[in-house]
Amino acid sequence: MAPQSSQLDSEALAWIALASAQRVSPKLWLQALEKYQLSTVDLGSNTSSLPNEVKQLTNNISPPLIDAAINWLQASDNRHIVPLSSPHYPELLKQLDSPPLALFATGNKALFQKPQIAIVGSRRASLQGKRTATDIAYGLSSSGVVVTSGLAMGIDSAAHQGALSGSTGTIAVMGTGPEKVYPAKNSKLYEAINNDGGVTVTEFFPGQGPKPWHFPRRNRIIAALSLGTLVVEAKIKSGTLITANLAADMGREVFAVPGNIANAYAEGCHWLIQQGAKLVTNISDILDEVGVQPEQLGLNVDEQNEKSTANSLATDKLLASVDYDITAIDVIAQRNALSVSQAMASLLEYELRGLVAAVPGGYVKLRGK
């Protein structure tokens, strides 16, 4: 088999070279190409004839980074370098003022061309917040929408996992090089995304680890790739709200899931709703706003029966007595005129069906009415 580097033509290699000049913003390169009517290939050949302004930029090109990129690409057939000129490059990303000149992707790069919704939120999310992110991500993925997030702990991880359970897949935008998993705890999730129909992507070169300034750059890509950004749990001052604001600045939709007014991690969502973000309680709130029609996937008989049973259970008095916030077991027992042991025994069935969860201090409702 021919090495993958042979798949990179001279133009693609030129874009990689420009991207390797880490001290030069993509915007400066694009302005220079337009100003002097140059092609990317022109910059890699005949450098003596280049204008002095452009020569100064080319002095920043890093051969070691270029070599690292090619070596990374050759190591697996599942790896891809997607330059700005590639037909696989995401169209929405080109709308950035300073778009990445090359993307390093592992997995199914075809997802870049599908409609995407970003789901972001707190790393220290509540159990209910993570369940909400998982459920919404699963619903979107099952409706033909790619779920995009940042591979962080908390809401990001829950969103990726929910999307992987659906039918469309997920995109994880990284703040590191393509082979550096951060946080390391998400190594298994990273592998699952790459091998189960999803794709991980970054603008950072192989070998580059996490740096504080990488993550705002990652967030701009998350916001730019997506038709809209959904926030599930976030504090007022957080990177999550920065991502939402970036999306709004680009004219993209912003969505937020409301929460308990006493929960500090719901403050960011409530603030966004006050600023005009759309309040979301189900995936229809999102699909209607961005104009995406869900795919008609259908349910088989067993799935329909299971859904019917779950909905029936979700309307009874015992489940109704459990709140979406922590509800003490003695409160649940009192509301249903049961002993604590009777209430716990009855709640076990709901736990097994994924309708409630036992947590320190009592129970929380996960879904249902």
Pair 109, 90: CB distance under 8 Å? no
Residues 6+ apart with CB under 8 A from 216: 239, 242
Exposed, middle or buried: residue 305 (CB in 10 Å: 0-12, 13-18, 19+)? exposed
Architecture label for domain 110-290: 3-Layer(aba) Sandwich (3.40)
- When pLDDT is averaged across residues 190-215 and rounded to a whole number, the result is 96
Place of tokens 């290699």: 13
Report the distance separating Cα 73 and Cα 116, nearest Å: 26
Q: Is the pLDDT of residue 105 over 50?
A: yes
Q: In this predicted structure, what is the pLDDT of residue 44?
A: 63
Q: Which of 129-133, 209-213, 344-348 has the lowest mean pLDDT?
A: 344-348
Q: In this predicted structure, what is the pLDDT of residue 368?
A: 53
DSSP 8-state secondary structure symbol assigned to residue 280? -
Structure tokens of 313? 């259970």
Spans of all domains in the chain: 4-78, 110-290, 301-365
Count other Cβ atoms within 10 Å, centred on residue 195: 12
pLDDT tens for each residue of 12-64:
999 999 999 999 999 999 999 999 998 888 876 666 778 888 989 999 999 99
- When pLDDT is averaged across residues 138-164 and rounded to a whole number, the result is 96
Pair 200, 190: CB distance under 8 Å? yes
- Please name the residue ranges forming H helices in 96-212: 127-142, 155-165, 187-195
Q: Is the pLDDT of residue 2 over 60?
A: no
Longest Cα pair distance anywhere in the chain, in angstroms? Answer: 88
Q: In this predicted structure, what is the pLDDT of residue 293?
A: 73
Structure tokens of 150? 């940042």
What class does CATH assign to 301-365? mainly alpha
Pair 322, 348: CB distance under 8 Å? no
The structure's pTM equals 0.80
Pair 29, 18: CB distance under 8 Å? yes
- When pLDDT is averaged across residues 241-269 and rounded to a whole number, the result is 93
